[in-house]
Structure 1
Amino acid sequence: MFDMMKMMGKMKEVQAKMREVQENLVHVTATGEAGAGMVKATANGHKQIIELTIDQDMIKPEDREMIQDLTIAAVNSALAAVDVKVKEEMKKQTEGVLPNIPGLDLSGMM
């Protein structure tokens, strides 16, 4: 019975830590770019785009379709990059709290 109580206490600790990590993900950011940096998108750990910049030299009516394509590429790049950082942050924040279980993906719990 002692082991069960210890495990329940550990689970509450893990839940509290996960909530804390999730709240702090708003501060984890990553920027993706396309077109050699002419379009940049920044996302936070909640996978929200928080900034989008387009080089002023790009804004020409005939370039509209290219701008749209580059914007999509930049956003997708930012989301992929922040996903990697979220996984790293989750691993760092839960180190020592959870056992190292191969295949356990904590980012899916967010």
Structure 2
Amino acid sequence: MAELFGKMNEFQQKMQEAKEEAAAIEVHAEVGGGMVKVTANGNRQITRLKIERDVIDPDDSDMLEDLIIAGVNKALADAERASAEKMQEVARNMIPGGGLPGMDLSKFGL
């Protein structure tokens, strides 16, 4: 039983390390032919937003709003995917065969 708890503790430590590594991931998304560029991290937070001057038209704010929304959504989706891949990689490396028979680890992002 002590060995099982030791393995669970090790698993929790490695998962925490993986979360920290995933947080360090940066993804970049571009929309509108690169007119709007968005950077997000593995914690699904927007860290940068770049808007080219050519797309800023005071008479057409709807287009700019749409581009920003599209760019943010794309960056967040890419960050989610990259973070999940990192967590799966850690799980595969920790558990032979990438999982435990009969256990669904998807609730944990694995």
Give the TM-score normalised by structure 2: 0.83
1:84 to 81, 85, 106: 81
CA deviation string 1:43-90 (max 9, x = no partner): 100010001111111112113111111101100000111111111111
Identical aligned residues as a percent:
39
Q: Gaps (5+ residues) in structure 1?
A: none
In structure 2, the partner of 1:61 is 58
Q: Gaps (5+ residues) in structure 2?
A: none
43-52 vs 33-42, greater mean Cα deviation: 33-42
In structure 1, the partner of 2:31 is 34
| RMSD, aligned α-carbons | 1.8
In structure 1, the partner of 2:99 is 100
| Counterpart-to-counterpart distance in 1, 2:84 and 2:20 | 15
Please state how far the C-alpha of 1:91 moved relative to its aligned partner. 1.4
Q: Secondary structure at the match of 2:62?
A: helix
Please state how far the C-alpha of 1:103 moved relative to its aligned partner. 4.5
Q: Secondary structure at the match of 2:44?
A: coil
Number of aligned positions between the proteins: 105
Moved over 4 A (4+): none
Give the TM-score normalised by structure 1: 0.83
Letter in 2 for 1:85: A
In structure 1, the partner of 2:15 is 18
| Counterpart-to-counterpart distance in 2, 1:26 and 1:63 | 36
